[in-house]
Amino acid sequence: MSTLEALQERAAQRAADRAGGSGRLRGHIVCDGLVRIYQTEGVEVVALQGLDLVVDRGELLAIVGASGSGKSTLLNILSGLDTPTAGIARVGSYDLLTMSARKRLRYRRHMVGFVWQQTARNLLPYLTAMENVALPMRLAGTKSVRAGRKRALELLDMLGIGHCAARRPDQMSGGEQQRCAVALAVANDPEVLFADEPTGELDEATAVEVFGALQTINAELGVTVVIVTHDNNVSGQVRRTVSIRDGRVASEVHRGSGTAVEYAVLDRAGRMQLPPSFVDALELKDRVKLNLEPDHVEVRRG
């Protein structure tokens, strides 16, 4: 069994333990016909156009897509930072469309953690690494000061930066700061961790360390991890990569046992997005002809 498969198996077991049994693994995150419309100066911008997505409990998932495709909007909605316009968005038992302000605050404190791309945005500059990680526990009132410091040290050690416990962010490297940010994001033992381009400002070697921290959290704590990324080294090391285009899920890549298979995604209405490379290669435009064969569908120029 490869290292990746071993980590994935361990993460699934940790997730099953958290859920109280393997029968509850399906649909930890569910989006159905999700729509988000922004209005600016009288102009409507549709960021999500009926997006469908299901993420299993304990999964480590990568989301990719061009700038403006809707991936960051999706992450902001799922993390409780933004409110959807229509559709279904559920994380665990939380309905993100109907949450009150009080419930949304509880959701963000206890249910989910978040890691930003900008290292400076994740940590308070005047606190040490240990103090940064312990702060969410103090704010939520989940642990005493002593217990919070103990858990902070345990998380920092787990992610290989125990030596940074007494250092402030300006005394740590970019990679150490991001691993500290991961520890901070899971301080209150959330069920889900969202990361928006967590390796975007790092060199390749440091990015590997940060992604390793996310894998560790997924495997050791059973936390469901969703990463938005442009980094092929990240998206190529997860079991499932979801590609978003024009506000909808366009395709998925599934990996396992040394193989990778790409699937186009059908929504509930039977709509499918053809890969741009296919459209360009066959010069498809406006209309296409569909022929139903016994085991496949043909798409031809109109």
Domain residue spans of the chain: 3-24+57-80+100-271
Question: pTM score, two decimals?
Answer: 0.86
| CA within 13 Å, CB half, 46 | 11
Q: Which residue, among 250, 227, 245, has the nearest Cα to 63 in the 3D structure?
A: 227
Which amino acid is located at 231 in the chain? Answer: D
Sequence-ordered list of residues with C-beta below 8 angstroms from that of 186, at least 6 positions apart, any chain: 113, 155, 193, 217, 221, 223
**Lowest mean per-residue pLDDT among 49-58, 162-171, 252-261:** 252-261
Q: What is the pLDDT of residues 166-224, one digit of tens each?
A: 999 999 999 999 999 999 999 999 999 999 999 888 899 999 999 999 999 999 999 99
End-to-end CA distance of the chain: 48
Quick check: 19 pLDDT over 60? no
CATH fold of 3-24+57-80+100-271, please?
Rossmann fold (3.40.50)
Cα-based angle 302, 51, 189 (whole degrees, multiple of 5):
150
For the chain, helix, strand, coil in percent to 5 are 40, 30, 35
| CA within 13 Å, CB half, 153 | 8
